[in-house]
Amino acid sequence: MKQPAGVILAGGQSRRMGGGDKGMLTLGGETLLARVIARLEPQVAEVALNANGDVTRFEPFGLPVIADSISEFPGPLAGVLAGMDWAAAQGHSHIVTAAADTPFFPCDLVPRLMLAAERAPIALAATPDPERGLARHPTFGLWPVDLRDDLRAALADGVRKVVAWTDKHGTAMAEFPSTPFDPFFNVNTPDDMARAEGFL
**Mean predicted lDDT score pLDDT of the chain:** 91
Phi-psi region of 158 (alpha: psi -120 to 50; beta: other; left: phi over 0): left
What would the mean pLDDT of 91-111 be, rounded to a whole number? 97
The domain in which residue 128 lies consists of 5-199
3-state secondary structure of 119: coil
pLDDT at position 17 = 40
pLDDT at position 23 = 85
- 22 labeled part of a ligand binding site: yes
pLDDT at position 18 = 43
For the chain, what is the domain count?
Answer: 1
What would the mean pLDDT of 178-186 be, rounded to a whole number? 92
Which is more confidently placed, 43 or 23? 43
pLDDT at position 150 = 97
What would the mean pLDDT of 3-13 be, rounded to a whole number? 86
For residue 15, name the pLDDT band (cuts at 50, 70, 90): very low
What span, in angstroms and rounded, lies between the C-alpha atoms of 73 and 15?
Answer: 12
47 and 8 Cβ atoms separated by less than 8 Å: yes
145 and 88 Cβ atoms separated by less than 8 Å: yes
pLDDT at position 69 = 87
- 50 labeled part of a ligand binding site: yes
| Helix or strand (DSSP H, E) at 134 | strand 133-144
What span, in angstroms and rounded, lies between the C-alpha atoms of 34 and 165?
Answer: 30
- 68 labeled part of a ligand binding site: yes
What would the mean pLDDT of 41-66 be, rounded to a whole number? 94
What would the mean pLDDT of 24-41 be, rounded to a whole number? 94
Q: pLDDT (tens digit, 9 = 90+) per residue, 55-96?
A: 899 999 999 999 998 877 678 999 999 999 999 999 999 999
Phi-psi region of 8 (alpha: psi -120 to 50; beta: other; left: phi over 0): beta
pLDDT at position 12 = 57
- 101 labeled part of a ligand binding site: yes
pLDDT at position 16 = 40
What span, in angstroms and rounded, lies between the C-alpha atoms of 194 and 159?
Answer: 34
Provide the CATH number for the domain around residue 123. 3.90.550.10
Pairing assessment for the beta strands 171-175 and 94-99 based on DSSP bridges: unpaired
Range from 10-14, 30-34, 136-140 carrying the lowest mean pLDDT: 10-14
